[in-house]
Structure 1
């Protein structure tokens, strides 16, 4: 049965879904229910994907697991894989964001002019209401959550998703034209919003570059260079969020970040700024120690900075950004103030886990880059016992190492790339002549045990790894949950 909630006619299209994780499951169901012929391919075996397959048991899906066979789009000389030959050339390949675009299978698809898209890109095209899109190297989850709560507190039916929560394609049939949709968008998702991978799309609208009606770029600093390889490529992926804005759209940009500030020169959309350091002409900033909205020359106070419950200057940035974005989306001043002064944070982001024997344990597992580690460390004035490590993303560590040597009481390293952090810290210690107690552990469990052994009342034990969790965990959330349990 075809359940048609979409603007595009997917019926009778042959579509390959690459990757059967969270988004892959959601888009597979959506496309199959729209009448498409769907083939799912994943590098994992059927045994490892059994739970995912069971979620789609009621649909007629073909699975090509344990590899991505070229025969899926080799039209000239089709070959079978596990006894199966594709019926005809695929019309579209939908890629899960965790799958790099440079893998041979996708590069060959591009060479054959087979269009690539994603669940997020398709949802944005099909969504019946304007979208608020938010991205940045840091702060995007907290800011997205804040904006969603501000819109809801203003009386709007609001859906929050994208890089957080449930894939919104599963809720497309519930969304109406007067609702609000707030999306966190990662660089992995945004690289498909440029037209290069979609130029031959079966849907003309999907073949163009696309930006949401309100596009917010918070900041751009080195991140995910293990995937994008260069800052130019990483910045280009992020730029799609605002590059295709139209004159009646709004860009919300961080004034204090030189990269996001420079984006304004090429935009035709209206621009709102947010700044912790300067007063802006249109947007949000701090005036007389109050978070304030500046519109048409008027300064409208929202709430005192001192009333914000979130730790750290970076969270003042997040509040400022959220208020600017929410204002662009039609939220009330009262709703902004209510959320800004009552919100206590998102899980795994400077989250207080427990206070034991006068020692406070904080979970900042989301800190998967040196820049995020820096923000976490700067949020505390108490003596710090820092747990750092995990898997690096080919990012520079010098600035983080410099801060660690100045502000951390004990450093406990763990995980795959701890040598990289250790060497950066030792280099900084040699330059400055300072000393720092450094402990090296194999696992997070060992690191937490060591922290309990060396900490005293008044200390803060902070898990702010600076590296990803993929050396030992499914994601940062699983790492953060394990830290909670260990504490």
Structure 2
């Protein structure tokens, strides 16, 4: 009798998992508590695959919580990253001893190709994309996947043992691993995020730490030498460790010094690239480049491929993405600034006076440190979304009164453009998730870009 698997969440990874399992002859139930039309409106790219699966006989349950009694006929549960592990169906699976895993675990167990896994609070997508480009430019077949938006499951059946998966992996995804063992992993930084899910920083860090829990022997972990919490966490690892640093030389790893990036490999110092030659700019991107350099170099990638990619790589969408200059005002899309630390990084990267658009879904963050930077960098802050009043109250409590609250993004972009003078920057860096108004940060960023283009066409 075929193994029967319940897949929870019908977005990109859930549909990809369902297709992989059905292609392998498994019986699949796919469930999502949102109506099917809502899912397809948010993720139109899954429409064709979902229709194909329905023709093949997949069982689907949309628009409601699936009955927990179904667990009696299920052999395994595969859950999507955004699904809390406390919902009734998953709680029942745990109670009945039915294994609950995520896509990363499933994919890892179904391929012989090695994994390079990257986590951290900020910089994951840029570092993952850059690392993937370095591997590709070295001539190795590379799949850049995971939390970055392209499901791992799409490529499991085609990947050869000599290929490599470069994977962005979130704390949510790490909650549901068991055997997942990357040959190389990286923790870029740690700062408060997703407190609505984890409650405490300790719980959040514990989830991140799972990235290296199965690493042993010749596996290696890359750590940010400038982040005390990362270094402390790394002491638990039972594999090789390499480091990267913006401000000091490291014995094994990469560092920035005298305007350049260098690798130190057993006291053999190898110059990689001048920072001014890099395609991505700002101290945070130097950190991302350092991490990617360490991962690639100690995975055996040649120095020339690393250097050339650092020079040619221009960044990724929604991460301090230049949109347009209109009437002397630059418009920058940093919709991926989904927490206060990311927004602080974006603000510190700006060299011109800033009109900031901020606010969104409440992840239970403290905005005090964020407001300290706002006071120094921001001429006017346009607040929108569920946290608008909270951020405004925090700002006023710290003596910053240059705020205006608006009801939607049309108004936010309009007001921001009216506040800006030639030589200013209108920066979307919300310091919050998008889920109060948008299904994801990509849609939020695209809405911002469309509204900016509308201003430019007037």
TM (norm. structure 2) is 0.94
Counterpart for residue 184 of structure 1: 168
**Which runs of 4 or more aligned residues in structure 1 lie more than 3 Å from their structure 2 counterparts after TM superposition?**
46-53
Residue 175 of structure 1 pairs with residue 159 of structure 2:
yes
- What is the Cα deviation at residue 334 of structure 1? 1.1
Count the aligned residue pairs.
444
Counterpart for residue 24 of structure 2: 34
Counterpart for residue 24 of structure 1: 14
**Separation in 2, partners of 1:54, 1:428:** 54
Q: Residue 419 and residue 286 in structure 1: after superposition, are their counterparts in 2 closer, same or farther (change >3 A)?
A: same
**Separation in 1, partners of 2:139, 2:342:** 33
1:199-238, Cα deviation, whole Å (9 max, x unpaired):
xxxxxxxxx4x33110111111111111122212111111
Counterpart for residue 236 of structure 2: 266
* Residue 464 of structure 1, aligned match among 407, 424, 429: 429
Residue 70 of structure 1 pairs with residue 35 of structure 2:
no
**Separation in 2, partners of 1:191, 1:129:** 22
* Residue 230 of structure 1, aligned match among 180, 196, 200: 200
8 Å CA contact retained: 1:211, 1:240: no
Counterpart for residue 45 of structure 1: 35
- What is the Cα deviation at residue 56 of structure 1? 1.8
**Separation in 2, partners of 1:239, 1:424:** 32
1:49-80, Cα deviation, whole Å (9 max, x unpaired):
5647424233221122322211202x4xxxxx
- What is the Cα deviation at residue 26 of structure 1? 0.7
61-70 vs 289-298, greater mean Cα deviation: 61-70
Counterpart for residue 485 of structure 1: 450
8 Å CA contact retained: 2:248, 2:257: no
1:345-397, Cα deviation, whole Å (9 max, x unpaired):
10000000000111000000000001111000000121111111111211121
Residue 474 of structure 1 pairs with residue 439 of structure 2:
yes
8 Å CA contact retained: 2:243, 2:250: yes
Structure-to-structure mapping, 1:280-429, within 5 angstroms: 280-429=250-399
- What is the Cα deviation at residue 46 of structure 1? 4.1
Counterpart for residue 455 of structure 2: none
Structure-to-structure mapping, 1:128-139, within 5 angstroms: 128-139=112-123
Counterpart for residue 13 of structure 1: 3
362-371 vs 29-38, greater mean Cα deviation: 29-38
32-41 vs 452-461, greater mean Cα deviation: 32-41
8 Å CA contact retained: 1:373, 1:400: yes
**Separation in 1, partners of 2:434, 2:39:** 21
1:216-273, Cα deviation, whole Å (9 max, x unpaired):
1111111111112221211111111112211110111111111111123222211110
**Separation in 2, partners of 1:163, 1:328:** 23
Structure with higher Rg: it is: 1
Secondary structure at 2:222 match in 1: strand
Counterpart for residue 79 of structure 1: none
**Separation in 2, partners of 1:388, 1:323:** 33
Unmatched runs of 5 consecutive residues or more in structure 2: 41-46, 453-458
Counterpart for residue 91 of structure 2: 107
8 Å CA contact retained: 1:255, 1:274: yes
Secondary structure at 1:277 match in 2: coil
**Separation in 2, partners of 1:438, 1:64:** 45
Secondary structure at 1:466 match in 2: coil
**Separation in 2, partners of 1:35, 1:343:** 41
**Separation in 2, partners of 1:395, 1:329:** 37
Residue 256 of structure 1 pairs with residue 237 of structure 2:
no
**Separation in 2, partners of 1:26, 1:402:** 43
Q: Residue 289 and residue 49 in structure 1: after superposition, are their counterparts in 2 closer, same or farther (change >3 A)?
A: closer
8 Å CA contact retained: 2:115, 2:181: no
- What is the Cα deviation at residue 175 of structure 1? 0.8
Secondary structure at 1:244 match in 2: coil
**Separation in 1, partners of 2:252, 2:354:** 39
- What is the Cα deviation at residue 176 of structure 1? 0.7
1:423-456, Cα deviation, whole Å (9 max, x unpaired):
1111111xxxxx5421111111101100111111
8 Å CA contact retained: 1:369, 1:392: no
**Separation in 1, partners of 2:362, 2:309:** 34
8 Å CA contact retained: 1:282, 1:296: yes
Secondary structure at 1:400 match in 2: helix
Counterpart for residue 441 of structure 1: 406
**Separation in 2, partners of 1:399, 1:165:** 30
8 Å CA contact retained: 1:253, 1:272: yes
Secondary structure at 1:416 match in 2: coil
**Separation in 2, partners of 1:46, 1:485:** 27
**Separation in 2, partners of 1:44, 1:381:** 43
Q: Residue 288 and residue 48 in structure 1: after superposition, are their counterparts in 2 closer, same or farther (change >3 A)?
A: closer
Counterpart for residue 54 of structure 2: 57
1:312-361, Cα deviation, whole Å (9 max, x unpaired):
21111111111011112221111111111222210000000000111000
